[in-house]
Structure 1
Amino acid sequence: MSNPAPALRLLIALMFCWLPTGALADPAIGEACDEPVIMLVYGEIHDREAFGAYAAALAQSGLYDKHGGHYLAISPILEILEGEPPAGRGMVVSQFPCAAAARAFWHDPAYEAIKPLRVDNSEFEVTLLPALPTP
């Protein structure tokens, strides 16, 4: 059996886009969107082959584009400097122009339709953090 990890990383990387963010991430939000947030995702994938369907569907959905999000970092971990993360833990770090845009992404009906593709093959913790200004 071949190692699906490189292809999976590619699929996940394709689901994120580098976009300039404007004052409004999504006109449907209807509020100023000028306080960026970081979406931090910790995940343990139990069945990488099955998870590939989720990654492919998300990559094809255009949801990150739609809500002004973009990828900042993705597993694999380059180096563990402290502690012992669980084997198989992955991380995805993305940025959105504001919390409302991140929530709009998370609750978008298109994402709600994609999410079940990962429920039985992985476990995730998803958090929003305030982004600090770039020095």
Structure 2
Amino acid sequence: MPAYLIAQVKITDDAWVPDYAALTHEIAAKHGGRYLSRSANIETLEGAAPDTTLIALIAFPSAEAARAFAHDPDYAPLAKARQAGSEGHFWVIDDTDAAGSIPYLPKG
């Protein structure tokens, strides 16, 4: 079942960004991941604007693949650098419909 990793990042020290931006997508790809977006163009349509610098959305073939990316030894030093120079959240969601009323999504 497809899964999506959503990363919300507020950069506090950008020293880590060049290496992270250059290398992370290859590690995600090794686990079947494909970036759908890694954008700083965040427009709030409803609610409070997030206190964030960028949001990334990566599609994976499964939640297990997303977790394998996040725990990949090659990713570990990049994650550590990101964590030291930013505040953020990573979430994994699947492609289900919690309400069960969208016909093209599995019921969640």
TM-score range, shorter chain: 0.7 to 0.9
**Percent of pairs identical after alignment?**
33
Q: Which runs of 5+ in 2 are unaligned?
A: 98-102
2-structure distance, mates of 1:40, 1:53: 20
* TM-superposed deviation, 1:78: 4.9
Give aligned pairs, total: 99
Report the 3-state secondary structure (helix = DSSP H, G, I; strand = E; otherwise coil) of the residue aligned with 1:126. Answer: strand
- Do the aligned partners of residues 54 and 131 (structure 1) sit closer, same or farther apart at CA in structure 2, a change above 3 Å counting? same
Matched residue SS, 2:74:
helix
CA distance in 1, matches of 2:77, 2:23: 10
1:72-105 Cα distance to aligned partner (Å, 9 max, x none): 1222235321123244432111110001111111
* Residues 108 and 49 of structure 1: CA distance in aligned 2, closer, same or farther (over 3 Å): closer
Q: How do 1:31-46 and structure 2 match up within 5 A?
A: 35-46=1-12
User: For 2:14, which of 29, 43, 48 is the aligned residue?
Assistant: 48
Q: Residue 110 in 1 paired to residue 74 in 2? A: yes
* Structure with more of its chain in strand, by fraction: 2
Cα distance change on mapping 1:78 and 1:126 into 2, 3 Å: closer
Indicate conservation of the 8 Å contact 2:11/2:87, yes or no.
yes
CA contact (8 A) 2:9 2:89 kept: yes
TM-score, L = length of structure 1 = 0.62
Local SS of the residue matching 1:129: strand
What do you get for the CA RMSD once the two structures are aligned? Answer: 2.2
Contact 1:44/1:90, CA 8 A, preserved across alignment: yes
Higher relative contact order (CA 8 A, sep 6+): 2
Which 4+ residue blocks in structure 1 deviate beyond 6 angstroms?
Answer: none
Q: Once the two structures are superposed, what CA deviation does each residue of 1:36-64 show, in whole Å capped at 9, x if it has no partner? A: 001111111112344323223324xx212
